[in-house]
Structure 1
């Protein structure tokens, strides 16, 4: 860390090495007054006196001697300009502003084919300024410089977005937009909604996407009628790389390491030993499994030194047949080793009297995770003629996780030191595939249309999730307890069609644009689940001692235990058809742009399970229609200033698995479904002021307000008995979510500062249980109304980045901070016992240095979590666990209890990039 700060200080000192006399000023486009970043300025009589125009359009010439100087200003595509200036002896600073004129062409006939650099920061800011709705965009250039290699982590740097981390590695996984839980957003790839490999829900895990395949990352916060309406928080659109205007070749290779494994070994199991199918899948549902059908090799953990992380990427593209056919293929392959050291207090099913938190065990967990991430993207576009174009793109994303976990649970207050040890190995295989064929056609100058035919499929396989348990005390050796093997897999397949028609008639000199269209999606989703429980064999009618997994002996105990769970409500099939129609009109009246319209969506969902006919909820359906109006206004105060107002209505459908009456055994609480769960509906308002001082700078400030009817959250309930708690999704009345966003990006020559801040408040009122003594001294459980923030909503979110971009040296650096305020990570069924994730601050550093003059070869580096931030979870109740028999670790407050602490350690990456 000290070396990084010293390096930055040296750069600053070199940058500000002032001479006695300087000439400074700006080089701007003569027409739009935009800075010409990268223009060259030099003294024709002394070539050592030169500079490259910085990010704010400024330049500075040092060591300027007294006398006359012929200054030359050059920029590609602009006329060269020469200015003569005289510097007197007593002049310390000379100021000037120079305007360059674009070069002109005078030809009898010319065909012009132009393509913007869609991966630049200037393009992203331009798209934000001209967008019809409220959105934020991050360009490929910004992503390239960021310390992140996955889309999930990149999202954490965007305004109003927090990212939910995985416990096994601390890496970002799910996005929360404006404090709205991940269920309230959806994911697009090139504007097409994609299915999810998640086994229960609709939302997509964002860590499956490599960041380097992205051309622009768009967070859409106000839906227009032509967009699918099931997002209350917002939508994320991953714009993948387009075919280039000419030959393109880029390749990168990098290696790195996680500091966690400098301090402890990596726990590894044999991935090849995992049986991909359960005995019931291999031999039939009525097959009586034998103990020999199950491998134990995935429980043989080796303590090894983790291999270095490896990342590689390749992009190649060109245009053929007189530029009519464009092709690009991009590949990213990432292998990383990560983990966490975790403390967790295992709660009792029922709290202590007066809703005081009660815990059974103090648990320490050690995770070791190997991630293999693959992304392949191919896009082809063919220009038939000036009125017709066809696009075909294919994308495949894969994330394989191999997770080893060792946990030790120590009983609290027993006096004999009961210890439960659990060894677990998990294999999680996730994939998403999408292929889309699109056509863009112009029939008349006033009439055009486009269409899309889509096939998408997401699938996940969690084969042989195996856990071994053995117990011991201070005075007794470990005894073998049990062994469980679980298999689950699911598929989510979409067949969809889209049609959009555009009509621009002329009325009295004005040209409104009418747009209408529709979509149809047929979704089929299937889930498989099977679990086998094996019991230790008694040795001479005594519990079996545990030494190693090789010597452990198991049997099936109980009726049909060797069949696993061939018929259970966790197996299900869902068919969902969504039909949507919309109409909207766009109109410009002087400085006011109006987009208004309405969307109608009809949802028809049917599910079935293999349960007996007598089972309540064996099959079911949800059929409903929604009318979703919206209006978006943009008023141009000036060329570079906007006022925006948006109103739209939207919905959020329950997860597929949530409406199935399932029951899954969880680690601490069982989970059950809710067939009576309803969709959430929302009214959404946005107001934003926008200022764009230049093509690379912006200031955005806005307010948002959301009223959500029937929001969905998980809560603990007692459906299965007074001594048992289950997590269950439920609707909770009406909720409010509102706040303020501020975004800024400003450059000072080569230095820049970028940041955003979001303040969010939400309010939801629900019933909770209160466990206490009544006036007679009897223990009773009452219901009380409680108002609290929505689950996952952080009141304060902030990002701050210090940038340095020296075009002369070819050096870019970024020191970035991300702050996420406290939020409810788990809603409790009891008053005052919600789990709160505490404020979390990370600091990251990255750099990119050009190695060759022509800029083809670069070296880059990334350092994440430099401050070694720990993720801490608390219950805000008086703390009786500071000392004594029930003492818990890491307690530092009498007013709150630390129930979880996760440590991930910093990680580092360095590599090279070549482009041609």
Structure 2
């Protein structure tokens, strides 16, 4: 579509509030011509909002292979687990991800936010990060919105292939862990080995597995579960990582009509080993912080002192990613376009891990072996159009219809527990029902979205203005369940000499008889196992963008949003009496105003200010009165059905000075007030780390941002090709954030037995340390890029540095005297280089990168009384990658 609008559609623009497009102001008396917009780039001029964007060139410079890695280079952004984006210190629940203007679903059980590590950068054309609310976006807008634009239709025919290989000093070629699995695991697909066995499937929806079943049927179900291929942890030497991507496009031009086709696909197989220490802290008798459960001593004779002991956690994950995209589009009469996009993103994780710890409850050293398989998949289909009607005064209409489904299937999550015996100095399977489990869990998250945006340029007296209005309707539904089973001992039990055998020998078919072992269902005894969550949001907005003077423009708008969120938690199998069902319903209507002012008060110098109101809703799993197990941290958490929405007021200001082409310095400040922010806190249940959720009374967030980008031409200072044929650049940004949570008020927690939660209102001072920072908020964020690009674009290189300050992973539980868990993400120093070489008369693109040059590691700790207790640490290592690509 050949228009002058910016490449991102209006649905993704920070705002359609246009700064004055006239670049000249003339004094009638003195005939002085004043230039105000010489260097202000289009993407900064067409929006009054505080925003940043990543282009294809930016992605090429940093060399990041997935979107989550690329976004940490943006001012004020960080990630959780390298997958979920945190904007301005507000964790991922306060961010929204839009794909071509439509919401992107999440296949993750613990997040509504989409994991951006599964989105490869080769299918993107631009990414917008907007930090100030404007009414064309959904009302759930806390930290910001991430607007992802997929690759547009090609200008000409092309075909491109790229292959890559990488490895790191911790994982590649070193000892790792795995398990047998199926023959096609390396492709990210199971060949049917992990399918639910027919014997279990026959009763799965109607009956709990236990001694209520006929003995023969119960034992047949137990014997039908896959044994050695999915139980036994094996040691291997891990392979290097590999990837391949293919892109192709074609365009057909006719009179007043163009047809385009774009196809892209990628596949990668990667390994990561983590080795470190894990433990759980508690306040001892002398008010000192000690390990309650933690790393054993080297001889496994007991609990090691703080800072000593063995690395008691060792795990290897094999992640296989595959993606495919097809886009078909039509441009006609220069002012109209319609396109259809179908995209599939798939990420499969196969993990084996071992964790040893001294367990205070049993006063023994125990070892847990885990084998897991997770299939995550997103299917996204969208039809959208862009239309400009010159005959209607320049009316622009953008519309979209999308249907997306995200799934996560985790069959055969397995655990077995052993206890260390001094004689014969080896581990022994204890045989208790709590010493093993087999889990089946599944999530399906479906989202349907439709909407349109209208803009119309008008003249209001002496003022030029743009009217805008729009509508959206979003429906989201999530179904999730977890079923857990375990083998318990029968009347005779397991023979004593067999307890020292390999686990597949213990759970062999001949031992699954009523006298020795029988399968029973152990999940759902204290909490329901399943939930259904639904969210319906209907929104309308209207606004005006008006030029008050030649250099001052205001954008005023309001969004009307009706939202209903409902979560039903229920036991398996569900029955007509709804036994154990817990229903949560939040139904709220909102009027959300937004105001921005842009004043270009001097040459290439402009000031933006803004005010807005927005909300954040609890996530489904936070509302579900069920217990979940987070495999990333090996901790349990439970939902709170009494949570309410968070309401947010935001104030923003940013001063921007553009002193050359793509050269600028900006300074900004922001302030937010959050009423009822949702926080995760520690609860003392069992031997591991457990958490739940509360609405803190109130929080404030204050911050400042700084950006600087400048290019240098050294050809007039030093002679030589190394300086004469290239432009050098420096890009840096820094964000300072300070937040405070108040304890002045009450919090509501959920307590009670299965299916019967009670709302307990307590003094917030028992859960919130007055004045502490928000969970997940880092005080300091810093990025630096120093590099070059040759004038012909055939070579570029950069040294990249990223720092994210310490932040809270889980807040303290003051009533139980449990300190918070703080995490320090590794600061990363990277070097990337790419070059195009002519070989055999053809151009070949080569890429090289070194990541985490300093070898920084991850560490999460608890601190009290001058003692810092590591609760989760592991090495990351330095990685090296190579790639080669060719385009025809």
Same fold (TM over 0.5): yes
CA gap of 1:543–1:582, structure 2 versus 1, over 3 A, is farther
Gapped runs of 5+ residues in structure 2?
1-37, 183-191, 296-310, 714-726, 748-763
CA distance in 2, matches of 1:282, 1:408: 37
* Deviation string, structure 1 residues 652-674 (Cα, Å, up to 9, x no partner): 11011221211236686542211
Give yes or no for the alignment of 1:479 onto 2:428. yes
CA gap of 1:367–1:540, structure 2 versus 1, over 3 A, is closer
- Which of 233, 236, 242 is 1:301 aligned to? 233
1:407 matched to which residue of 2?
Answer: 355
2:444 matched to which residue of 1?
Answer: 491
CA distance in 1, matches of 2:520, 2:452: 52
CA distance in 2, matches of 1:224, 1:407: 48
Give yes or no for the alignment of 1:384 onto 2:332. yes
Shift, 1:641, TM fit? 2.5
2:809 matched to which residue of 1?
Answer: 825
SS of corresponding position for 1:505: strand
CA distance in 1, matches of 2:87, 2:482: 32
1:191 matched to which residue of 2?
Answer: 101
Shift, 1:222, TM fit? 0.8
Matches within 5 A, 1:55-454: 126-165=42-81, 172-262=82-172, 264-272=174-182, 274-277=193-196, 280-281=200-201, 283-285=203-205, 286=207, 289=218, 290-296=221-227, 297-322=229-254, 324-347=258-281, 352=285, 354=287, 356-362=289-295, 364-411=312-359, 418-443=364-389, 444-454=392-402
CA gap of 1:535–1:264, structure 2 versus 1, over 3 A, is farther
2:506 matched to which residue of 1?
Answer: 552
* Deviation string, structure 1 residues 780-809 (Cα, Å, up to 9, x no partner): x99486221011111011111211223369
- Which of 673, 676, 679 is 2:639 aligned to? 673
Bigger-Rg structure (1/2): 1
Q: CA RMSD in A?
A: 3.1
* Deviation string, structure 1 residues 572-603 (Cα, Å, up to 9, x no partner): 22232111111111112311122111001111
* Deviation string, structure 1 residues 505-554 (Cα, Å, up to 9, x no partner): 33335331111121111222111210002235665774852221232136
Give yes or no for the alignment of 1:758 onto 2:735. yes
Shift, 1:911, TM fit? 1.3
More displaced 10-residue stretch of structure 1: 747-756 or 853-862: 853-862
* Deviation string, structure 1 residues 383-403 (Cα, Å, up to 9, x no partner): 233443212112221111111
2:412 matched to which residue of 1?
Answer: 464
Matches within 5 A, 1:13-52: none
Matches within 5 A, 1:698-777: 698-717=664-683, 726-749=690-713, 750-766=727-743
Gapped runs of 5+ residues in structure 1?
1-121, 166-171, 770-780, 880-894
CA distance in 1, matches of 2:39, 2:620: 38
Contact 1:147-1:845 within 8 A present in 2 as well: no
* Deviation string, structure 1 residues 9-28 (Cα, Å, up to 9, x no partner): xxxxxxxxxxxxxxxxxxxx
Contact 2:402-2:450 within 8 A present in 1 as well: yes
Shift, 1:430, TM fit? 0.8
Shift, 1:855, TM fit? 8.2
CA gap of 1:515–1:148, structure 2 versus 1, over 3 A, is same
Matches within 5 A, 1:539-688: 542=496, 544-553=498-507, 562-563=520-521, 565=523, 569-589=528-548, 590-611=550-571, 613=577, 618-638=582-602, 640-664=604-628, 670-688=636-654
Contact 1:213-1:332 within 8 A present in 2 as well: no
More displaced 10-residue stretch of structure 1: 280-289 or 259-268: 280-289
CA distance in 1, matches of 2:83, 2:698: 28
- Which of 827, 835, 854 is 1:867 aligned to? 854
Contact 1:274-1:298 within 8 A present in 2 as well: no
Shift, 1:725, TM fit? 8.2
2:824 matched to which residue of 1?
Answer: 838
Contact 1:280-1:563 within 8 A present in 2 as well: no
CA distance in 1, matches of 2:853, 2:66: 18
1:810 matched to which residue of 2?
Answer: 794
Give yes or no for the alignment of 1:786 onto 2:769. yes
Aligned positions, number: 758
CA distance in 1, matches of 2:39, 2:496: 73
Shift, 1:250, TM fit? 2.5
Matches within 5 A, 1:854-893: 856-878=843-865
CA distance in 1, matches of 2:444, 2:384: 25
CA gap of 1:373–1:387, structure 2 versus 1, over 3 A, is same
TM-score between the two structures when normalised by the length of structure 2: 0.80
Shift, 1:465, TM fit? 0.6
CA distance in 2, matches of 1:216, 1:687: 25
CA distance in 2, matches of 1:335, 1:191: 30
CA distance in 2, matches of 1:641, 1:338: 47
Contact 2:55-2:125 within 8 A present in 1 as well: yes
CA distance in 1, matches of 2:505, 2:622: 41
